[in-house]
Structure 1
Amino acid sequence: MSLHALVVLVPEADPIVGSWRLRYDRPGIPAHVTVMYPFLPGIPAAELADLFAAHEPFTATFSRFGRLPGLLYLDPAPSVSFSALTSAVTARWPKAEPYGGRYGDPVPHLTVAQDQPPETFDAIEADLSERLPFEMSVREVTRVRFADGAWQVEEAFGLGPGPSPRAS
């Protein structure tokens, strides 16, 4: 069985948080902000392209940490821009619920570490604080698939008007 997700990849974060993510996050997917997980299989690329083309590109800044039980993350600003993408997916495909509906209204985030004691989260924050902030230009949402024990990029969908999705 394969799982699908829609994510905003954040390659700018990898040099900053990559070593911590390798130690304390689930391996196999680059730094990202989740738009929808799990996502429905079989949705045509053209439908996703149309949906995301209706949203303008934006700049996101990662300047502070956030915590949820068992989770240390970077808090993207403006988070409302990421939430709008999630809301659009849910409005178009109501069966697609963020995290299967387990967390109510999800908080947009870039996971740094999971399932560690507060002291570990404190040490990570201390190490990373001087490397923040960083910015990125959000120009696309990527569909990824988990199969055969690994995450694989399937295709990216541009925000705003532009070319068709690109397959990877």
Structure 2
Amino acid sequence: MTGNDSDIDQPERSGLVVRVPEAETAVRAWRDRLDPAVRSGMPAHVTVLFPFLPESRIDADTLASLGEVIGRHKAFEARFERCGRFPEVLYLAPDPASSFRALTESVVERWPETPPFGGRFAEIVPHLTVAQGQEDSVLDEAEAGLRDGLPVVARVASVDLMVHDGARWRQRASFALG
């Protein structure tokens, strides 16, 4: 999840993410400096869907449905070997992006009222944010510094439901891929 959403840290917000602990060694120092989401407890991740439902709307039936939707997807290996950019954002690009995109599309199919990033973007671009809200010169420095830590290879076996309490993100549930 990127902090470009001005109300990303609002209470009741939720999102679905794939944690990528294998990337922490490569990205942690840069994220600590250049990604405000770190301060609110968001680990290195690829967003599956943000925003999801408000936390107050997530009940046992929702959790069961999420488990079913996510469980239809097979676990897979993702490789992060190159960087990409959005305006003021540097990210690691996962390969295969299509596996992450399929997760997003299946959740949105079940909950069409939750388009990715509120429907602001026409295309789903899976990514692991390293820096955001930064000038190109800072992004250039971070990108050069990341090269020695790549590639990162991760096993994707679950999707976490993260919720925000107004100060910090916390994991509310985790759903295994098939």
TM range (shorter): over 0.9
What is the CA RMSD across the aligned residues, in angstroms? 0.9
Q: Which runs of 5+ in 2 are unaligned?
A: 1-10
For residues 53 and 25 of structure 2, the distance between their equivalents in structure 1, rounded to whole angstroms, comes to 31
Matched, 1:7 2:17: yes
Please report how far the alpha carbon of residue 130 of structure 1 lies from its aligned counterpart in structure 2 after TM superposition.
1.2
TM-score (ref. length: structure 1): 0.92
Q: Shift in Å at residue 116 of structure 1? A: 1.1
SS state of the match for residue 38, structure 1?
Answer: coil
3-state SS, counterpart of residue 91 of structure 2: strand
State the alpha-carbon separation in 2 of the partners of residues 153 and 10 from structure 1: 14
2:139 equivalent in structure 1: 121
Deviation at 1:148? 3.1
- Figure out how many residues of one structure are paired with residues of the other and give that number: 160
For residues 77-120 of structure 1, give each alpha carbon's deviation from its aligned partner in whole angstroms, at most 9, with x where no partner exists: 00000000000011111101100011122210000001111111
How many angstroms apart in 2 are the aligned matches of 1:12 and 1:74? Answer: 13
Aligned residue identity for 2:47: T
Which residue of structure 2 aligns with residue 77 of structure 1? 95
> Which one-letter code corresponds to 1:25 in the other structure?
D
1:80-91 correspondence runs (5 A) = 80-91=98-109
Quick check: 1:53 aligned with 2:71?
yes
SS of the equivalent of 2:143 reads helix
Offset at 1:5?
0.2
Distance 2:145 2:14 in 1: 33
Gaps of 5+ in 1: 161-168
CA displacement 1:46-67 (0-9 Å, x = unmatched)? 1111111110000000000001
* Displacement over 3 Å in runs of 4+: none
Pairwise CA distance, 1:24: 0.8
Q: Kindly indicate which of the two structures has a greater share of residues assigned to strand.
A: 1
